[in-house]
Amino acid sequence: MTEPRARRARAALRLAGPAAGVVVLGACSRRAPSTLDPHGSAAARINGVWWLMLALAVAVFAVVGGLLLVGAFRRPRGEGDETAGGRDGPTDTTWILAGGVIIPTVILLVLAVDTVRTTRALRAAAHAGVEHVEVVGNDWWWEVRYPREGVLTANEVHIPLGRPIEIGLTTKDVIHSFWVPQLAGKLDTIPGQRNVLRFKATRTGTYRGECLQYCGLQHANMGFLVVVQSPADFATWAADNAQPPPTPSDPLVAEGEQVFTNQPCAGCHTIRGTSATGTRGPDLTHFGSRLAIGANAVPNTAANLGAWVSNSQDVKPGNLMPPIPLSGEELRAVVAYLEGQR
Ligand SMILES: [Cu+2]
């Protein structure tokens, strides 16, 4: 009997090792944005509260678990044995008062004070050098506007390193929630209201963001990217994106512009400097310089763009861009045109 059991236990251990490894590696992988690896001021403060809560929970667990073990293994009190431990040690009332009232109150007070202080710090507005971004939630993509720089883009938020950032959050339809785990806490976009998210980014890089409030069919594919750049790179990006893209000289690209402006595309999408001025879908000016397609559904490559334009419903089922029948030639031209929008 013991032999198979021992073998099973060894097998379980062999499995547990790699499983634990997968969990640990998963937590550290570049693709999974972790709140425990903060690269922003707001995320760092929230991370502090998280560790405090974990430390207190572990301490309470250790003390309660330890007392349980002591209780379980202690020699039961016998008749006439009362003095053995009862008299000298704390009385039952002391245990109940200390463990049930005083210590929990102190722990909850510590947590309450830290939470309120953190919340106030997260809300505090910076006075100078603030970079303003307006983000509008749409089923199922994000419009991104820079009022001062005159930039309009989608699904990709560029911000300068180290400067105070204010992201104004609103919505065109339902409640969404804007969350970049490594940079800041989550904040909802609420109809008829403008919420403001404040933070500073502390390291350059590209960070993944998600919609965190269920908003319909393609909620899970309502992602975005935040690109943290040096202030000089950010200024260059903003200046480039404020300009209309150059007029195409390549014949295929010029044909693509014709296709885009003559097909229904122009009724839903804007490309500055052309007759396309639709607003139901993302602004596609400078689309070629963006990293992803369909609110971070797939990377921005010519092949993925071809698949998206020929039928975006295959890539992101249920999204609000209908399939538009194009000939092979028209498709090639429009892909070349959009990829050339830099
Ligand atoms: Cu959502």
- Position 105: which residue type? T
Q: Ligand 1 centre and the CA of 321: distance in Å?
A: 17
Cβ-contact 161, 183 below 8 angstroms: no
Q: Indicate the pLDDT class of residue 75, thresholds 50, 70 and 90.
A: confident
Provide the sign of the torsion angle of the four alpha carbons 229, 231, 232, 234, taken in this order. positive
Average pLDDT value for the chain: 89
Does residue 42 sit within a domain? no
Tell me the C-alpha distance between 69 and 50, whole Å: 28
Q: Tell me the CATH number at 265.
A: 2.60.40.420
Q: Ligand 1 centre and the CA of 62: distance in Å?
A: 39
Q: Ligand 1 centre and the CA of 217: distance in Å?
A: 9
Q: Indicate the pLDDT class of residue 249, thresholds 50, 70 and 90.
A: confident
Residue 338: name the closest of 274, 260, 239 by CA: 260
Q: Please tell me the predicted confidence (pLDDT) of residue 33.
A: 87
Residue 118's SS3 state is helix
Q: Ligand 1 centre and the CA of 129: distance in Å?
A: 31
Q: Ligand 1 centre and the CA of 137: distance in Å?
A: 9
Q: Indicate the pLDDT class of residue 149, thresholds 50, 70 and 90.
A: very high
Q: Ligand 1 centre and the CA of 142: distance in Å?
A: 10
Sequence-ordered list of residues with C-beta below 8 angstroms from that of 226, at least 6 positions apart, any chain: 156, 157, 158, 159, 180, 183, 201, 206, 207, 208, 209
Q: Ligand 1 centre and the CA of 223: distance in Å?
A: 9
Q: Ligand 1 centre and the CA of 342: distance in Å?
A: 29
Q: Please tell me the predicted confidence (pLDDT) of residue 248.
A: 83
Same domain, 135 and 238: yes
Tell me the C-alpha distance between 285 and 274, whole Å: 10
The full DSSP string for 206-239 is: EEEEEE-S--STTGGG--EEEEEE-HHHHHHHHH
Pick the range with the lowest mean pLDDT from 76-80, 170-174, 264-268, 302-306: 76-80
Does residue 64 sit within a domain? yes
Cβ-contact 299, 315 below 8 angstroms: no
Tell me the C-alpha distance between 42 and 280, whole Å: 33
Same domain, 234 and 272: no
Same domain, 115 and 140: no
Residue 340: name the closest of 258, 246, 274 by CA: 246
Pick the range with the lowest mean pLDDT from 12-21, 62-71, 201-210, 240-249: 12-21
Q: Ligand 1 centre and the CA of 259: distance in Å?
A: 32
Same domain, 110 and 152: no
| Total domains, the chain | 3
Tell me the C-alpha distance between 68 and 54, whole Å: 21
Phi, psi of 197 (to 5 degrees): -100, 130
Cβ-contact 216, 140 below 8 angstroms: yes
* pLDDT at residue 2 tops 50: no
Tell me the C-alpha distance between 99 and 234, whole Å: 55
* pLDDT at residue 271 tops 60: yes
Q: Ligand 1 centre and the CA of 216: distance in Å?
A: 7
Same domain, 146 and 185: yes
Report pLDDT digits (tens) over 175-233.
999 999 999 999 999 999 999 999 999 999 999 999 999 999 999 999 999 999 999 99
* pLDDT at residue 23 tops 80: no
Q: Ligand 1 centre and the CA of 191: distance in Å?
A: 14
- Position 160: which residue type? P
Q: Please tell me the predicted confidence (pLDDT) of residue 4.
A: 56
Q: Ligand 1 centre and the CA of 139: distance in Å?
A: 8
Report pLDDT digits (tens) over 55-69.
999 999 999 999 999
- The residues whose Cβ lies within 5 A of ligand 1, an ion, are 176, 211, 215, 219, 222
Q: Ligand 1 centre and the CA of 268: distance in Å?
A: 21
Same domain, 223 and 309: no
Cβ-contact 179, 248 below 8 angstroms: no
Does residue 1 sit within a domain? no
- Note down the domain range covering 186: 131-242
Pick the range with the lowest mean pLDDT from 37-41, 133-137, 164-168, 246-250: 246-250
* pLDDT at residue 84 tops 70: no
Does residue 171 sit within a domain? yes
Provide the sign of the torsion angle of the four alpha carbons 102, 106, 112, 113, taken in this order. positive
What pTM was estimated for this model as a whole?
0.86
The residues that bridge with 179 in the sheet, in sequence order, are 210
Q: Ligand 1 centre and the CA of 153: distance in Å?
A: 19
Q: Please tell me the predicted confidence (pLDDT) of residue 175.
A: 97
Q: Ligand 1 centre and the CA of 305: distance in Å?
A: 23
Query: Which of 242, 271, 289 is a domain's end point?
Result: 242
Cβ-contact 305, 335 below 8 angstroms: yes
Same domain, 293 and 199: no
* pLDDT at residue 101 tops 50: yes
Does residue 37 sit within a domain? no
Same domain, 96 and 167: no
Q: Ligand 1 centre and the CA of 203: distance in Å?
A: 27
Does residue 29 sit within a domain? no
Does residue 187 sit within a domain? yes
In the block, residue with structure tokens 């296709």: 259
Same domain, 88 and 142: no
Does residue 14 sit within a domain? no
Q: Please tell me the predicted confidence (pLDDT) of residue 147.
A: 96
Cβ-contact 117, 49 below 8 angstroms: no
Q: Indicate the pLDDT class of residue 27, thresholds 50, 70 and 90.
A: very low
Q: Ligand 1 centre and the CA of 178: distance in Å?
A: 9
Report the percent of the chain where pLDDT is more than 70.
87
Q: Ligand 1 centre and the CA of 186: distance in Å?
A: 12
Q: Indicate the pLDDT class of residue 28, thresholds 50, 70 and 90.
A: very low
